[in-house]
Amino acid sequence: MKSRSVAVTTTLQSAVVTGENVVAGYPGKIVWRGASFSLDRGELVAVIGPNGAGKTTLFRLLLGLQQPVSGAIKIFNEVPKRGNPLIGYVPQRHLIDSETNVECLELVHLAYCGHQWGFHLTAKVGRAAARRALEAVGATELASKSLNALSGGELQRIFLAEALVSDPDVLLLDEPLSSLDIRRTQELVQLIDRVVRTRKVTALLVAHDINPLLPYLNKVVYIANGKVATGTPKEVLTSERLSELYDTHVEVIHDSRGNVAIIGIEDHHGDE
């Protein structure tokens, strides 16, 4: 009897992120509509599409920073609320620049306990958690280095550690690969995949180029032209599906190694 009810709950709970006919944007300025999707635990999902299509908007909906215009979007079977510790977030832009002379451990530590008000005599627990997060991303030796002394690839590891420190069930990564060269991109993608598989988290990753991610992806969320297509890469990355999405003829070409090229679309530089 007990194992049966556990089995039922597990099935219900395996869909971590669900959307039913979601319309995103603001009344008067719809960004995308008709989005229905179901993302399961432990899946690595790419969120792609042209600039300004509304990829960050999806993240803002899941973080509870924005409400859908209509439709139901759920995370962990509940309406998204602000400050959910089960979500780890790596935003697109960061304030870190050449003047930021703060050690990496401190940034990760703050992600763990920065929401706590009041005076704290000791930071031992938080710093230990921060060290574990840095270890998980292979950045232990960067702990006492200053943020402004890191390379782009190293910084992305620190931001990932920031997102992991609260032991989340969902990771939202907004363009973590943008400023990296091919080698660092591959390293980071492999790291993210390893983290996803060992911790069984659901990771949504916004990217411009899907090819580095293809070997590791479970699903794709393709946002373009005010519409959203979700499914496995094989289902979504077809000429038919994307032509339907873009309302114009789009050709999807696969090369001998499985890389994908999408021909026939303009990359709109919108304001996202």
Partner 1 sequence: MQHAFEAGTLVAIVAGIVGYFVVLRRSSFAAHALSHIGFAGAAGAVLLGVSPILGLFAFTSVGGIGMTVLGPRASNRDVQIGTVLAFMLGLGVLFISLYTGYATEAYSILFGEILGISSVDVIVTAVAAIAILCATAFVYRPLLFASLDEDVAEAKGLHMHMLGIVFMLLVALATSIAVQVVGVLLIFSLMVTPAAIAQRLAKRPWHAVLISVIISLTATWVGLFVAFYEPYPVSFFITTFVFILYLLVRSIHPKLELMKTVSTFAKPIGQAQN
CB of 162 or CB of 246, closer to partner 1: 162
Which tokens hold the place of 60? 């803002």
Site for partner 1, residues 171 to 200, rule: CB under 8 A: none
CB of 87 or CB of 245, closer to partner 1: 87
Cα 184 from Cα 91, distance rounded (Å):
18
> Around 93, how many Cα atoms within 13 Å sit in the side-chain half-sphere?
3
- Return the number of other C-beta atoms located less than 10 Å from residue 238's C-beta: 17
Site for partner 1, residues 137 to 156, rule: CB under 8 A: 144, 146
CB of 37 or CB of 89, closer to partner 1: 89
Cα 141 from Cα 128, distance rounded (Å):
14
CB of 158 or CB of 221, closer to partner 1: 158
Residue 130 touching partner 1 (CB under 8 A): no
Residue 93 touching partner 1 (CB under 8 A): yes
Residue 234 touching partner 1 (CB under 8 A): no
Among 3, 5, 11, 101, binds partner 1 (CB under 8 A): 101
Cα 250 from Cα 246, distance rounded (Å):
8
Q: Residues touching partner 1: how many (CB under 8 A)?
A: 35
CB of 1 or CB of 121, closer to partner 1: 121
Residue 131 touching partner 1 (CB under 8 A): no
**Extended strands (E) in the chain:** 15-26, 29-40, 44-48, 70-75, 87-90, 170-174, 202-206, 219-224, 227-231, 251-254, 260-263
Strands 219-224 and 44-48: parallel
| Piece in contact with partner 1 (CB under 8 A), picked from 13-21, 43-51, 71-79, 80-88 | 80-88
- Return the number of other C-beta atoms located less than 10 Å from residue 258's C-beta: 10
Q: Min. distance of Cβ 213 from partner 1 in angstroms? A: 22
Residue 79 touching partner 1 (CB under 8 A): no
CB of 112 or CB of 246, closer to partner 1: 112
Residues 118, 98: contact at Cβ < 8 Å? no
> Around 79, how many Cα atoms within 13 Å sit in the side-chain half-sphere?
7
Binding residues (CB under 8 A) for partner 1: these are 63, 65, 82-83, 85, 87, 89-96, 99-103, 106-107, 110-111, 113-120, 144, 146, 162-163
